[in-house]
Amino acid sequence: MHSVRCWVSGRVQGVYYRASTAEQAARLGLKGFARNLADGRVEVLVCGPEEAVQALIKWLWVGPSAARVIEVRTEHAGLAPEAFPSEFTTD
């Protein structure tokens, strides 16, 4: 299992970004969460098979149609699958 933390910048709040991310993550069978940050970014923490995680990261660059992504920063999270909720969530 692979775990990654992502920070997505651009017009990503108020455009259905978190919910769309959760839908995409569910399609890929991933665990984790997406949440808004006070600085206007969205943080995504994701865990699952490396190919599926990489597919979600690729999708984060696009997002829903109203989003305008300008940057996706990633780092290895190093968390065990047990540290994640049973399904992808938003808050």
- Is 27 part of the annotated catalytic residue set? no
Buried b (16+ CB within 10 A) or exposed e, 72-88: bebeebeeeeeebeeeb
- Catalytic residue of the set 18, 27, 35, 41: 18
- Catalytic residue of the set 36, 41, 68, 73: 36
- Is 5 part of the annotated catalytic residue set? no
Polymer length in residues for the chain: 91
Nearest partner of 47 among 31, 33, 27, 28, judged by Cα: 31
Catalytic amino acids?
18, 36
